Structure 1
Amino acid sequence: MNKAITDGLALMPPSFAQGLDVWSREDGTPGSLTYAGAADAALVPADQDFGDCLELQKTESVQKLRHMGQTPIIPGCYLRVTARVKAVAGNLPALRIAAWAGNGNEEHVGGLVEVGPSVALSAYGQVETVTAIIGTGRRTGVDMSWGLVPVYAHLGLDLTGANGGIVRIDDLLVEDVTAIFLRDMMNWVDVRDYGALGDGTSDDSAAFEAADTAAAGREILIPKGTFHLGEHVTFENPVRFEGQVTMPADKRLSLTRNFDLPSYIAAFGNDLEAFKRAVAVLFNSSDHDSLDMGGRRVEVTAPIDMQAAVANKDTFQIRRVIRNGQFYAKPSPAWDATQVNSQATYSPSAPLTLSGVSNIANIPVGALVGGLGVGREIYVRAVNVGAGSLTLSQPLFDAAGTQSYTFTRFRYVLDFSGFAALDKFVLDDIEFQCDGKASAIMLPPEGQIFHVRDCFITKPRDRGITSIGKGCYGMLVDRCQFISNEQALRAQDRTTIAINVNDNDVKIRDNRIVRFAHFMVLHGSGHVIANNHWFQGDTETDGTRVAGIILTQPNVKTTITGNYIDNSFIEWTNEHDAAPDFTSEYSFGGLTVSGNIFTVNDVAPWFRWFVVKPHGQGHFIHGLTLSDNVFKSINGTIDRVDHVDTTHATLDMALARNITVQGNAFNAVDQVIVNPATLEFEINSPQKTWTLDFGRYLPFGGRARKVISVMPENAIRDTDGAVVSALPYTKVEQGTGGKSISLVWPVDSKGRVEVTARMDNPV
């Protein structure tokens, strides 16, 4: 700080060459004698050391030299007065800085120290420096501590010792050195004061650490320049970056008091580099559990390998959060998918392994597997080049033997596949602007409770959230929006998928999903799918619709509740099963679909909202609740809501049990379905056997397997019109496909009955 600049103050006395009439040989007060015309003082125009200077002969015991101008003394301001002198002849005197203190009434303030340390001259021609510091406070290094009464000073020198010597004196220098004494009172420290060079090559790590130690709660200033840090550096105090830092990839800069992305951007000068550096600290510090992106947009031209950013860990089990920012995928060939064609052998006895894989070194972890008998959303979970084998995320349902496979590796903005396992990781309030260039998130191969909440995944190129293994266990996706990059395409032409799941217990809640090929492909069980809205329609009349949710495990223990299912359907398969034929395992069951809104428009009558697609023989349904839903078709009617896709196999309806279909509303649906079904039948001509058809009402082409009740309405009468009081007995599974029941009366009878029948065994 320079008072002459900042406060408009004149601190420097004039040079001697400007005249000696302002230089007093007394105290410097007005009217005192000056050196102008004095016999013992002369101006020297060209001294070899000083240039213009004053030559003074000592003629008094204490010979004074004072500037008659008033140098201001300001509270909190410290002045250093410096004189350079040398002896040229005669006795060698001693010199000291001296001053006269004056108050606001231009009176002398007594009782103060008004001289500085004395310097004795010891040789002719040798330049000595005489200095002293004057200020208001009593601080170490202050020679004249005057307090608040003095408001100005007459500054100069005293010559002491033997008379007769001749000295030459350079112009006096007066400097404001307040910063030296008030550094510990300022709210910042500068790393340069601790040895930082900021030349971009010298290692400034030690200087940064020293500045942090000295800060003691104050802010640390990183001034303009490039500061190289060769070691880890941790700041325990707030930091302000005007300059930038560089450091090796394996070193970390920890900003414990301002751990946020804007601070790291200020430090490293690049959004992406700053994000990676901050992530490394997030996983290596216990001081914070979350990284706030500060609403900043990070432009990304290649996938961010999250494990490589952390570098020193491949497993992590402590909660960590990244929140409040945006990733924007910029055009780059680094987003292009890699596709490898290889021959491999599959055996159902090793359901998660492809062996004898050719070209295996070129197949990356996380590649999507394609081939005959391969179900949807199966990924390479691990690669063993030495053994020539791949580990898959799910089994293949019909691929025994050797064949050619394709392996397609999509590219993701945030790629966690390098971790072996990652638990309790949260992405919160983040927008992934994929812009059709990149996919969004690839999960680690192992882990629990990955949570994506309040995020926007906008226009992913291929996938929104991809699970390549068990890293989706217990995953939570809440209040997110997924916007497809394929909205303009027909539904059947789209290829993008918002989410896939490989393990149990995911919670997918309150999301909005717009026009993907599929919303989700879910393996595992224990899922809760609640209050989402996904729609997959297009503008094509009588258009094809594709599945919104695909369940790939038969016994799912899952609820699909309170959703808005728009222009898509639920498909239930067992395509992730190496032995898809039913043996001793659970078959299709454990599913509750309730309280949903199903709607569709501009489709052909054969559209269905709920499709079961067995991939092996012998399967059946044992545990399904389809209740309290609303089904509505717009711009045309459909035949019914349910369907069994027999592409690979059919269901054994003779084994169906515990199926409840009730309380649903059907709009523009020709045939309602219900189980148990209560129907009214009227026989107008007397018959001993009444054959009653339930087939159209029973879901999934079910058989009429149980009669629950028979209730006549009014009297049943015989041929003569007499009342038949005897009860009939029933025969189930009558007629074509077993879809009818028979009531057998003791005599030919006619009348009206209400009969309740089931297509399943309820226990």
Structure 2
Amino acid sequence: MNKAITDGILFMPPAFANGLDMWSSGDGTPGSDSYAGAANAAFVPADPEFGGCLELQKTESTQKLRYMGETPLLPGCYLQIRARIKAVSGNLPSVRIAGWAGAGGGDHVNGVVEVGPTVTLASYGDVVEIAAIVGSGARGGVDMAWGLEAIYGHFGLDLTGPNGGVLRIDDIEITDVTKLFVLDMMGRVDIRDFGAIGDGSTDNTAAFTAADLAANGRRLFVPAGDYYLGETVSLLSPVEFVGTVSMPADKMLLLTKGFDLPTYIAAFGNEELAFRKAFQALLNNVDHESLDMGGRKITVTGPIDMQAAVPNKASYATRRVLRNGQFTAAESTAWDTEIVTSQATYDPNDARILTNVTNIANVPVGALVTGDGVGREIYVQSKNTGAGEITLSAPLYDAAGTQTYEFHGFKYMLDFSGFSQLNQFSISDVEVQCNSLCSGIRLAPSGQTFSLRDCFISRPMDRGLTSIGAGCQGMLIDRCQFLSAEEPLDVEDRKTIALNANANDVKLRNNRATRFKHFAMLAGDNSMVIGNHFFQGDSVANGVRTAGLVIAGTYTCATITGNYVDNCFIEWTNEHDPSPAFIDGFSFSSMSITDNIFLASAVAPWFSYIVVKPYGAGHFLNGVTVNGNNFRAINGTIDRAERVDTSFAELNFSRIRDVTYTGNAYHGVDKKAASPLRLRYLQGTAAQNWVIDTDGELPFLGRARAVDAVVALGEIFNEQSAVKHAMPYARPEEGSDKSQVILTWDEATHGEVSVTVRVDI
């Protein structure tokens, strides 16, 4: 590039032969003294080496010679000022190229270097050449970097050292030498050309902005150095980082072209910091809906507070995606769980509040709450330190009064709990590798449709994914793997949980979870659990098993279909709401468990695949479907596939309604429950009342509440062996446990019948 050729810009000053009135003994600015008529200056027309030249006697401590014309300076254009000089007589001075930096309006640009290297003359008559390069950027070889503020200069030279010497100076030349840097500039714009200085302290905001404006589609180049940016910078051009940038936490670098994590890592030089800044940009209109991690693996030394990374956003509601990478935890005390012990009071009439909480300032929001009468997966959703109150994610089942609680503040790799609300955020194709050091992901206390898709949460210390409030509303977990760190442990020693949810409309689809204490605890309504494989066995013979899926609620309207429930069970509990109002007959209601594979190996005989665990008296089943499942036990048999855990309360079997339990296959299961239950009964001796026992084959050992059909299988005879055609009437709910049906005939009879009995009405 040569602006004299391409743009016709005149850089060369006039020859001395044209007069000395354009040459100043000052800075060259308008009004400064010229050498025309000066006693110490004269034009020499015929010097042997120079031809026409200026003869000048040094009379001042710094004798200046400046061209009074304004030589233009353009961003990215570099000028060389060159002069030849020789000493004629008198003292031998030193000489250097020099200039005066001019800004708009004739102002002087302060704080820039305005002199080149100094050369000391050593003898008379020897021609010495001096030169210096001036330009906007601090490139290698540039002597005077003047930045963007300087738009012109008055150039010439300085004589320093002793006075009295006489010198002759050939015509001063100013030429465009940008070509010297052309290989470094081709196809890209160097930020140094716009005044950027990589000293770690100079604010380069203006330089970056100006370079981006001038790039016009070319790539910006950030050379080696640390370039401080004091304000938010949005760049419309692709950027190549050799050096790095630094900036305050609340200022943003918005790379709208080539927006991906590898570019941010190059920009900031630190993976964790780069991720925070890239996430900050993602939520601040960077013209991209997703942050591509570029397959990068980020080593993380402490919890990433996702909201603190975006201090200007307390909530966010526009779809954004994090994808294609891995986070891996490194050893650090920053992962240590905070455990706080506090005394607090609980009133069931204010079911989600703890009051008079001691030491509340130290209780972390998002902590797991434990104590007597506290159900599983109860978290601190928020706190009011001044009032001494904590809001819980769910009610407690038996904690009325004052007691001591423990609050466990787990540390999460990706922690969104600082947002008051987060909607439509998705993580795709990302592994959260916890390495038994930390938990995985913690959601915001409020929000909708958080999505986790094709992800791995590997070896969490305590929890894989945690909802501390309603941030799981409509959550979508699809095709993910949850890999436990506790696989070597026996079931009874495990404590980690893959995920939980408190809000409605959660969908778990086609996931795989290995040997957690629980795969999932869902406390909201309208959940869909489809196509998952979760297994939790160990090598202990006749060992205990824990629930794989916990449904915590009564009227759940949940669908559990097509899952592989392996060495664990489905537990349905109301531990978060022990005393519902039973409005409209709802208790344990609206549950569909269909077409699942249930398998267990070497378990205790009392193990069951479907367990209802009521808290509080009076609960019953209403609107429950268990159809088309395969129940299988190997390496031993089990008593039954379903049961009621009566640790806290019984079910009220007299109120069971609309229960369908049909089409299930049983292998290695002694009692094959069904409702309607079809029984064949043979009465060998004549009797008027035939007592038919359901023999424990009604679901959940329930009552024989209704008889749908009685069909004679062959002829029915009286005591005289006469064929009887009269039908009996049925009396359900007979016997001490009301599990029997009595058929009453008009006289004593014998024969065989098929009876269809229901556990409900």
Please indicate the TM-score interval, normalised by the length of the shorter structure: 0.7 to 0.9
Please give the per-residue CA displacement for 1:669-722, whole angstroms capped at 9, x wherever unaligned: 111000001111111111111111114210111111111111101111111111
Once residues 472 and 289 of structure 2 are traced to their aligned partners in structure 1, the CA distance between those partners, rounded to angstroms, is 21
Match of 1:22? none
Change (3 A) 1:180 1:646: closer
Give runs of aligned pairs for residues 675-754 of structure 1, distance below 5 A: 675-754=675-754
Is the contact between residue 81 and residue 172 of structure 2 (CA under 8 Å) also seen in structure 1?
no
Letter in 2 for 1:733: E
Does 2:432 align with 1:429? no
Letter in 2 for 1:250: D
Match of 2:274? 274
Is the contact between residue 57 and residue 167 of structure 1 (CA under 8 Å) also seen in structure 2?
no
Does 2:257 align with 1:263? no
Once residues 618 and 634 of structure 1 are traced to their aligned partners in structure 2, the CA distance between those partners, rounded to angstroms, is 36
Change (3 A) 1:532 1:363: same
Is the contact between residue 52 and residue 170 of structure 2 (CA under 8 Å) also seen in structure 1?
no
Match of 2:570? 570
Is the contact between residue 718 and residue 750 of structure 1 (CA under 8 Å) also seen in structure 2?
yes
Partner secondary structure for residue 749 of structure 2: strand
Match of 2:5? none
Match of 2:179? 178
Match of 2:342? 342
- 1:258 Cα deviation after fit: 1.3
Once residues 130 and 495 of structure 1 are traced to their aligned partners in structure 2, the CA distance between those partners, rounded to angstroms, is 78
Change (3 A) 1:717 1:585: closer
Match of 1:546? 546
Match of 1:55? 49
Match of 1:452? 452
Match of 2:213? 213
Calculate percent identity across the aligned residue pairs: 51
Match of 1:249? 249
Change (3 A) 1:585 1:285: farther
Is the contact between residue 81 and residue 175 of structure 1 (CA under 8 Å) also seen in structure 2?
no
Once residues 643 and 350 of structure 1 are traced to their aligned partners in structure 2, the CA distance between those partners, rounded to angstroms, is 33
Is the contact between residue 369 and residue 378 of structure 1 (CA under 8 Å) also seen in structure 2?
yes
Match of 1:353? 353
Letter in 2 for 1:753: V
Letter in 2 for 1:421: Q
Match of 1:412? 412
Match of 1:372? 372
Please give the per-residue CA displacement for 1:85-120, whole angstroms capped at 9, x wherever unaligned: 68979xxxxxxxxxxxxxxxxxxxxxxxxxxxxxxx
Is the contact between residue 578 and residue 615 of structure 2 (CA under 8 Å) also seen in structure 1?
no
- 1:279 Cα deviation after fit: 0.8
Match of 1:597? 597
- 1:729 Cα deviation after fit: 1.1
TM score, norm. by length of structure 2: 0.78
Please give the per-residue CA displacement for 1:488-542, whole angstroms capped at 9, x wherever unaligned: 1111110000001101000000100000000011101100000000000001111
Is the contact between residue 445 and residue 471 of structure 1 (CA under 8 Å) also seen in structure 2?
yes
Change (3 A) 1:615 1:81: closer
Match of 2:95? none
Change (3 A) 1:657 1:56: closer
Change (3 A) 1:756 1:255: same
Match of 1:48? none
Is the contact between residue 580 and residue 615 of structure 1 (CA under 8 Å) also seen in structure 2?
no
Change (3 A) 1:714 1:300: same
Once residues 499 and 175 of structure 1 are traced to their aligned partners in structure 2, the CA distance between those partners, rounded to angstroms, is 67
Once residues 450 and 314 of structure 2 are traced to their aligned partners in structure 1, the CA distance between those partners, rounded to angstroms, is 16
Letter in 2 for 1:686: A
Once residues 746 and 596 of structure 2 are traced to their aligned partners in structure 1, the CA distance between those partners, rounded to angstroms, is 46
Give runs of aligned pairs for residues 603-614 of structure 1, distance below 5 A: 603-614=603-614
Letter in 2 for 1:559: T
Give runs of aligned pairs for residues 438-477 of structure 1, distance below 5 A: 438-477=438-477
Change (3 A) 1:342 1:747: same
Once residues 438 and 621 of structure 2 are traced to their aligned partners in structure 1, the CA distance between those partners, rounded to angstroms, is 40
Change (3 A) 1:167 1:466: closer
- 1:727 Cα deviation after fit: 1.2
Once residues 482 and 438 of structure 2 are traced to their aligned partners in structure 1, the CA distance between those partners, rounded to angstroms, is 14
Once residues 357 and 565 of structure 2 are traced to their aligned partners in structure 1, the CA distance between those partners, rounded to angstroms, is 41
Match of 2:154? none
Please give the per-residue CA displacement for 1:312-342, whole angstroms capped at 9, x wherever unaligned: 1111100011111111101111111111111
> Which blocks of at least 5 consecutive residues in structure 1 are unaligned?
3-52, 60-77, 90-124, 132-165
Partner secondary structure for residue 308 of structure 2: helix
Letter in 1 for 2:626: L
Once residues 54 and 586 of structure 1 are traced to their aligned partners in structure 2, the CA distance between those partners, rounded to angstroms, is 115
Once residues 589 and 390 of structure 2 are traced to their aligned partners in structure 1, the CA distance between those partners, rounded to angstroms, is 31
Once residues 726 and 563 of structure 1 are traced to their aligned partners in structure 2, the CA distance between those partners, rounded to angstroms, is 48
Once residues 365 and 432 of structure 1 are traced to their aligned partners in structure 2, the CA distance between those partners, rounded to angstroms, is 22
Is the contact between residue 467 and residue 500 of structure 2 (CA under 8 Å) also seen in structure 1?
yes
Match of 1:644? 644
Please give the per-residue CA displacement for 1:349-376, whole angstroms capped at 9, x wherever unaligned: 1111000111111101001111111110
- 1:81 Cα deviation after fit: 10
- 1:178 Cα deviation after fit: 2.7
Is the contact between residue 54 and residue 170 of structure 1 (CA under 8 Å) also seen in structure 2?
no
Once residues 721 and 389 of structure 1 are traced to their aligned partners in structure 2, the CA distance between those partners, rounded to angstroms, is 80
Is the contact between residue 582 and residue 616 of structure 1 (CA under 8 Å) also seen in structure 2?
no
Is the contact between residue 474 and residue 505 of structure 1 (CA under 8 Å) also seen in structure 2?
yes
Change (3 A) 1:171 1:315: closer
- 1:743 Cα deviation after fit: 1.0
Does 2:527 align with 1:533? no
Partner secondary structure for residue 538 of structure 2: coil
Is the contact between residue 83 and residue 173 of structure 1 (CA under 8 Å) also seen in structure 2?
no
Match of 1:284? 284
- 1:730 Cα deviation after fit: 1.1
Change (3 A) 1:56 1:568: closer
Please give the per-residue CA displacement for 1:643-691, whole angstroms capped at 9, x wherever unaligned: 1111111001111010111111100111100000111111111111111
Match of 2:19? none
Once residues 516 and 270 of structure 1 are traced to their aligned partners in structure 2, the CA distance between those partners, rounded to angstroms, is 34
TM score, norm. by length of structure 1: 0.78
> Which blocks of at least 5 consecutive residues in structure 2 are unaligned?
3-46, 54-77, 90-124, 132-166
Is the contact between residue 254 and residue 286 of structure 2 (CA under 8 Å) also seen in structure 1?
no
Letter in 1 for 2:483: I
Change (3 A) 1:181 1:722: closer
Change (3 A) 1:738 1:218: same
Once residues 250 and 58 of structure 1 are traced to their aligned partners in structure 2, the CA distance between those partners, rounded to angstroms, is 62
Is the contact between residue 617 and residue 651 of structure 1 (CA under 8 Å) also seen in structure 2?
yes
- 1:585 Cα deviation after fit: 6.4
Match of 2:758? 758
Letter in 2 for 1:551: I
Once residues 308 and 175 of structure 1 are traced to their aligned partners in structure 2, the CA distance between those partners, rounded to angstroms, is 49
Letter in 2 for 1:571: E
Change (3 A) 1:585 1:723: closer
Match of 2:387? 387
CA RMSD of aligned residues (A): 2.8
Once residues 588 and 578 of structure 2 are traced to their aligned partners in structure 1, the CA distance between those partners, rounded to angstroms, is 16
Change (3 A) 1:225 1:288: same
- 1:196 Cα deviation after fit: 0.5
Once residues 447 and 750 of structure 1 are traced to their aligned partners in structure 2, the CA distance between those partners, rounded to angstroms, is 67
Is the contact between residue 695 and residue 703 of structure 1 (CA under 8 Å) also seen in structure 2?
no
Once residues 223 and 58 of structure 1 are traced to their aligned partners in structure 2, the CA distance between those partners, rounded to angstroms, is 44
- 1:747 Cα deviation after fit: 1.4
Please give the per-residue CA displacement for 1:43-66, whole angstroms capped at 9, x wherever unaligned: xxxxxxxxxx9625679xxxxxxx
Once residues 396 and 607 of structure 2 are traced to their aligned partners in structure 1, the CA distance between those partners, rounded to angstroms, is 28
Once residues 51 and 190 of structure 2 are traced to their aligned partners in structure 1, the CA distance between those partners, rounded to angstroms, is 46
Once residues 51 and 646 of structure 2 are traced to their aligned partners in structure 1, the CA distance between those partners, rounded to angstroms, is 121
- 1:213 Cα deviation after fit: 0.4
Partner secondary structure for residue 638 of structure 2: coil
Partner secondary structure for residue 724 of structure 2: coil
